[in-house]
Amino acid sequence: MKKMMEKVLVTAVILLALFVMEGTATAQLNQPLHQDGWISAAAHAPGLHGSIWRTDIWIYCKSGSWSVDLYFGRSGQDNTDVIPFHIEAEGGAHVLHFEDVVEQFLEVGAGAWVGSIHYTSDFQIQVWARVYSISPDGRHSYGQVIQGIPTADMSPDVPTEGYSRVHQHLCAMKHTADGRFRVNIGILNPTGVAAYYRVEMFGPDGNYSLPGLPSSIPVEVPPYSMMQLSDPFAAINGGDWDNAIIQVLCDTVGAGTLAYASVVDNNTNDAYFTPAFKVLSPDD
């Protein structure tokens, strides 16, 4: 058993070395309690096969008396002046739950909305969301769980620990040439300035010479907003890959980056969420 564990550890070190590219990595998993954070993707919108996407959230706080503000950041819009939905916990409740929060509580009006949820609280909290679709007959649902990420975990544009640029990287993705699986890439701008980003892909060995690879995909994201790219790397390797690495870079002074991938089964509309992690690397 010990030898097997040593082999696993060696493999993990090798993989980590590929990702950090001479820097260090911090995974955005199992986040600590915090007062300011984001649910990277939220929606009340139509999906495939007549389904409807919706978003339920759970908010946890250790205190028995606390409050939280939720801001819905519509995709592709400047959300600087969004009015928050204010919640006061009552009766010593440590957990609050809201179903279909985008449609029911965030006052976006009628229609279909896709975006992100920014939350702030007077106490340390954690937020989880279930973003899922329901079939027209109501008998089936498919979706993904998204954990709240602290705003402090964004990759800023400023130098960090001697590095001139801080990237965000994505892995654990799957794409198939038969069209069964697709990978959507989300970019969240958690700052008050419009930001320009570049989305790039490279292979597990760090090279950029994958067949069908675009050199870079430019994306502009308004303040406190998000943009989701629909299957931007569909043509790479003939549409069949599961070991590529995607990086998101920010080129705007004063801005920052949070990113994710949503991997969707086109036959069932099922999906899973992959958060990005930081990779500190030299200006390359």
Mean pLDDT of 47-73: 88
Residue 17 has pLDDT above 50, yes or no: no
Name the least confident of 104-108, 214-218, 231-235, 243-247.
104-108
Query: Nearest Cα to 30, choosing from 122, 145, 144, 120?
Result: 145
The pLDDT of residue 94 = 94
What CA–CA distance (Å, rounded) separates 243 from 170? 10
pLDDT at 5 over 50: no
The CA distances from residue 69 to 76, 121, 149, in Å, are: 21, 6, 15
Average pLDDT over residues 66-73: 94
- What's the pLDDT at 239? 94
Over pLDDT 90: what percentage of the chain?
A: 53
Cα 132 to Cα 181: distance, rounded to the nearest angstrom: 17
Residue 250 contacts residue 32 (beta carbons within 8 Å): no
Q: Each residue of 245-278: pLDDT tens digit?
A: 999 988 888 899 999 999 988 887 788 899 998 8
How high is the mean pLDDT of the chain? Answer: 82
Give 136-167 pLDDT, tens digit per residue. 888 878 889 999 999 999 987 655 555 556 68
Q: Is 92 exposed, middle or buried (0-12, 13-18, 19+ CB in 10 A)?
A: exposed
pLDDT at position 103 over 60:
yes
- Percent of all residues in the chain with a pLDDT value above 70, rounded to a whole number: 81
Determine the topology of domain 23-29+154-281 in CATH: Jelly Rolls (2.60.120)
**57, pLDDT greater than 90:** yes
Q: What is the dotted CATH code of the domain comprising 34-151?
A: 2.60.290.11
Rounded to whole angstroms, how far apart are CA atoms 274 and 268? 19
- Does 80 score more than 60 pLDDT? yes
Least confidently predicted of 11-20, 84-93, 140-149: 11-20
User: pLDDT at residue 87 above 70?
Assistant: yes
Question: pLDDT grade, residue 107 (50/70/90)?
Answer: low
Q: How confident is the model at residue 108 (pLDDT cuts 50, 70, 90)?
A: low
Contact by Cβ (8 Å): 165, 246: no
Q: Please report the pLDDT score of residue 203 as a whole number.
A: 87
Highest mean predicted confidence (pLDDT) among 81-95, 103-117, 204-218: 81-95
Longest CA pairwise span in the chain (Å): 59
- Residues 223-231: what's their mean pLDDT? 96
In this prediction, residue 3 has a pLDDT band, given cuts at 50, 70 and 90, of very low
pLDDT of 175 strictly over 90: yes
Domain boundaries in the chain?
23-29+154-281, 34-151
Closest by CA position to 119, among listed 31, 240, 216, 209: 31
